[in-house]
Amino acid sequence: MSPPLVRMRAITKNFPGVLALDDVDFTLNSGEIHALMGENGAGKSTLIKVLTGAEEFESGEIYLGDSPQTIVNTSPQQAQSRGISTVYQEVNLCPNLTVAENLELGSYTLKDDHERKRRLNAVYGRFPILGQRSKQLGGTLSGGEQQMLAIGRGLMSSPKLLLMDEPSMGIAPLIVRDITEIIKNLHKDGTTILLVEQNAKMALGLAGYGYVLDTGRIVLEGKGADLRKDEKVVKAYLGG
């Protein structure tokens, strides 16, 4: 098994009147695809926001790599500098900026212009359509192209961990297939990926390991292949 890249231990997060995360233990191993599944309101997006510093948590510990030092309520900027990048469910692009300008926003902490150019060309190599439309405004792209642009922007920080929040949400089945291939290729390149998905068929078809979150608690976890056969998962998420 690969060494852990992220370890979350006994994480608790409260909102007024709601226990969003309840004593959550969670491990992401380097170079692997992980799935996090759950219904709306289960706490999936909250877990991502806690991990990336967009939300503070009340108690628990987060470790990066094998470091004994904990991360306590880091900021999104600090998370990115540590190699954590997020592609959110809402494709949050700047519609009046070009494709190239949107991508460059993903490397705003980078001081080396040559390295930024290298990363930009690497994204164009992975997504040729973005290279062809580099001067086109982001808001004029199709839904699938905007999703590619959002992923490309996430890659501009050269992340160790890429968090993908509902990448198939609202996307046509043909584009979902394209996104699936993109995720497979990122995995081949050694990127650690967390797929936060309601589309369990897609997520478990890709993930080596998966977690099921329900009302803020991890209620089930295991190898992706095992979860695909689990009666509870089949009934709740796979239409069995």
- Residue 226, judged by CB atoms within 10 A of its CB (0-12, 13-18, 19+), counts as middle
At 184, list the tokens: 């497979």
Give the pLDDT score at 122.
Answer: 93
Comparison of pLDDT for 109 and 140, the residue scoring more: 140
Domain residue spans in the chain? 1-83+161-240, 91-158
Give the pLDDT score at 23.
Answer: 95
CATH dotted code for 1-83+161-240: 3.40.50.300
State the Cα angle at 180 between 78 and 211, rounded to 5°: 60
Res 82 pLDDT > 90: no
pTM of the model: 0.87
| pLDDT 10s digits, 119-137 | 999 999 989 999 999 999 9
Res 211 pLDDT > 90: yes
Res 91 pLDDT > 80: no
Res 139 pLDDT > 80: yes
CB 203 within 8 A of CB 197: yes
Q: What is the mean pLDDT of residues 199-224?
A: 92
Comparison of pLDDT for 75 and 128, the residue scoring more: 128
Give the range with max mean pLDDT: 167-171, 200-204, 211-215.
211-215
Give the pLDDT score at 69.
Answer: 55
AA letter at 61: E
At 106, list the tokens: 């993903």
Give the pLDDT score at 7.
Answer: 92
Give the pLDDT score at 140.
Answer: 94
Kindly report the average pLDDT of the chain as a whole number.
87
Tokens 């992220």 appear where? 6
| pLDDT 10s digits, 44-69 | 989 988 988 888 899 998 888 776 55
